[in-house]
Amino acid sequence: MEKSDRPYDIVVYGATGFTGRLVAEYLARHYGQEGPRWAMAGRSAAKLAEIRALIDAPKNTPLIVADAADPASLKAMVEQARVVITTVGPYQLYGEPLLAACIAAGTDYADLCGEPVWMRQMIDKYGEEAKRTGARICFSSGFDSIPFDLGVLMLQKEAVARFGRPAPRVKGRVRGMKGGASGGTAASLKATLAALGKDPSLIPLMQSSFCLTPGFEGPAQPAGDKVQHDDALDSWETPFIMAAINTKNVHRTNALLGHVWGSDFVYDEMVLTGPGDQGKAIAEHMAKTPMIGRPDDPQPGEGPSKEERETGFYDVLFQGQMPDGQTIRYGVKGRYDPGYGSTSRMIAETGIALLSAKAPGMVGTPGAILGEALVERLRTHAEISFAAE
């Protein structure tokens, strides 16, 4: 069946999970029956029907039973869809059968993966096949790593317009954020640590900023692993837990775009905590207090209340430094908590943007596959602002 003739534009796989339900709810509320033709998929028909009623989706929203343990069900699902959005992680435990099925069928794919070692393994295993079938595979289509991936992309566009060339050095700095890590994020971290424990040869991949750019190793990058003072921003800063995935995705976008920001590009991320003794004390406290990896981590399927999601936010500053000392600033700000409220909007809009994407098949990033087209969708529909400062 030709891709354009498939019955569904988008299938949300994992629609009965916490984040998958939010994605389905967003599509129902914002697009209803006027937008893309979409369906909900998961392991249980009864549970899917229950969620469809709970989120007040149209009663005729199709339901598809599919299970990662049943390859035939995955094949049947992806062959009916132009795009599959999957929230079923940890991806290193459950993701490969669906990924392989999408690539074989030439079906576009978006996930929320923040597991760089697994991502590298999938790039190596399926990268050439995705080029052959035309499947566009968008890893990390949520808070990790869209605001950072697209924030750098937009800063560099501004730098070229203003200075005639991209900035060879960019800092990503979280100025403010309210919202906890998801149960899925916590489970992914535990699965990654378990995988590294079983196979220590994977540790250098996890540590490398260029883990996702096979065949290319760029210059040394800042470690970002200790409290320090940023004189240019007059603020103390502390390590950012998501830098380990975001920085790798930013370098992959640069590589997939032909190193348009230079093969000497340097990028890091940290959290700003303010000036003076108070800023230093906050930075040191945050450095000793892990966001995830604690006994009280949320479990997969658990998440914050509607009020907590709606009162969350994030504010990220990108500062580009030019060789002559000039600087450029760009801000990305999102309403809703990053891990759920904003993430569910980001991956939904990634799925919709894939419907009209012009990029060739690849195992890539939202920045490389969708670029400014996704920025415009997020500005218009997801209450995320991208602006030069």
pLDDT at residue number 163 = 97
Beta 38-42 vs 8-13: how paired, if at all? parallel
Lowest mean pLDDT among 16-30, 106-120, 126-140, 171-185: 171-185
Lowest mean pLDDT among 10-19, 128-137, 256-265, 287-296: 287-296
pLDDT in tens, 123-134: 999 999 999 999
pLDDT at residue number 190 = 79
180 pLDDT tier (thresholds 50, 70, 90): low
* pLDDT surpasses 80 at 182: no
Q: What is the mean pLDDT of residues 323-343?
A: 95
- Of the candidates 386, 370, 355, 365, the one whose C-alpha atom is nearest the C-alpha of residue 4 is 355
Q: Compute the residue count for the chain.
A: 389
Q: What is the mean pLDDT of residues 218-240?
A: 95
pLDDT at residue number 181 = 62
Percent helix, strand, coil in the chain (nearest 5)?
A: 45, 20, 35
Question: Is the preceding peptide bond at 90 cis, omega within 30 degrees of 0?
Answer: yes
pLDDT at residue number 54 = 97
Query: What is the torsion angle, in degrees rounded to the nearest 10, for the CA atoms of residue 66, residue 71, residue 77 and residue 78?
Result: 140
pLDDT in tens, 295-320: 777 776 677 888 888 899 999 999 99
Residue 79 Cα distances to 62, 73, 75, 94, 241, angstroms: 15, 10, 6, 19, 37
| Tokens describing residue 7 | 């019955």
Which residue stretches of the chain are H helix?
18-30, 45-54, 71-78, 91-94, 96-105, 116-133, 146-163, 183-198, 203-207, 243-256, 276-288, 306-311, 343-354, 366-369, 372-381
- Of the candidates 251, 243, 247, 242, the one whose C-alpha atom is nearest the C-alpha of residue 213 is 251
How many CB atoms are closer than 10 A to CB 302? 12
Lowest mean pLDDT among 66-80, 284-298, 321-335: 284-298
34 pLDDT tier (thresholds 50, 70, 90): confident
